[in-house]
Amino acid sequence: MNFEFTENQSMFRDMVRDFSRQEIAPIAQQMDEEGTMPDALLAKLREGGFFGLSFPEKYGGMGIDTVTYALVIEELSKASAGVSVMITVHNSVGSYPLAMFGGEEVKQAFLPRMAAGEIAAFCVTEPGAGSDAAAIASTARKEGEQYILNGGKIFVTNGSRAAFFVVLARTPGTVGHKDIHAFIVESGTPGLTVAKKEDKMGLRASDTVAIDLEDVAVPAEHLLGKEGDGFKVAMSALDGGRIGIAFQALGIGQACLEESIKYAKVREQFGKPLARQPVIAEKIADMGIELEAARLLGFQAAWLKDQGQPCTKQAAMAKVAATEAAWRAADAAVQIHGGYGYCKEYAVERYYRDVRVTRIYEGTSEIQRLVIARQLLAG
């Protein structure tokens, strides 16, 4: 594995860093407070090609490698984790199933639109099916040349903004993962409605909604893969999704570290800056150690994916290491800031709220450990 970034990778990182500082960071607090994202920022993200990062060039995307993608997500996350999760969900689980399992005619019709900025969402979780995705109850009934979908999904990132939804549903009356199917469904299809927007602790710039499916007719050609491939489709998308969330967490954690260093150099206690207090210096050192170690795991997973090698274990390891390290970094950052860290005037308060969900979505830390153990024990 080469630990030296290419000129193109470094250029991408620097461009996104500048964009994030100029266009996102100044309004990050406002987006958090208002729980929304301005149309003007969405337009700039589309213009910058952020919605086509991982899309093949033949479909209008940039076709960047996974390492470059990781660098982009980390830089976006330093400014706003809400913006970064919208981009990473769209570029991974929202579009990857179509790119890998869709028919060519459907890919030609939809992928260029996604790459241009028509947002994609991923619909798996239900009230009775979270970590156990095989327990979904939404149904797909075949009727001639179409499928009729019924049920409901929750915690759908990008849901109220999405033009496309990857939806998992099962044959009525079945159980387990063998009779689950995956579909690409367009927004505006009769019967598909946004039922509720969640009022979340963090990532408030990103929309998270519940979706209702009532007799939603989907053309048979919108089936992804073959009948019964739905669980495989979903699981295959998660490796890339977990790498993205790992680097989202690393971006939040790095922002916590940088804010803590800045604050510790100017805040004085007992006659000297906090940075010269051993207990504070040790906290900052531990933050740096854990984040850097997790980052290396993340780049290993990204590099393996770029080589076309299996990376399920490494992606799961990277997600656990990064999200847990970032959570500890956010906690330490608030502690270093003292009472100010508990106030919205300081960004570490937002980072603390934003980072919490990274240990939950795209597979909880507990599920990641099961995945890792299964991989290790099979060897």
- Catalytic residue from among 118, 145, 362, 366: 362
Separation CA 317–CA 356 (nearest Å): 18
Q: How many C-beta neighbours within 10 Å does residue 137 have? A: 15
Phi then psi for residue 15, to 5 deg, are: -65, -45
Phi then psi for residue 153, to 5 deg, are: -125, 150
Separation CA 107–CA 96 (nearest Å): 11
Classify residue 146 by burial, with Cβ atoms within 10 Å: 0-12, 13-18, 19+.
Answer: middle
Pairing outcome for strands 272-273 and 192-197: unpaired
- Would residue 362 show up in a list of annotated catalytic residues for this protein? yes
* Residue of 336, 357, 354 whose CA lies nearest to 259: 336
State both tokens at 313: 């274990």
* Residue of 91, 76, 56, 58 whose CA lies nearest to 13: 76
Q: Which residues are catalytic?
A: 362
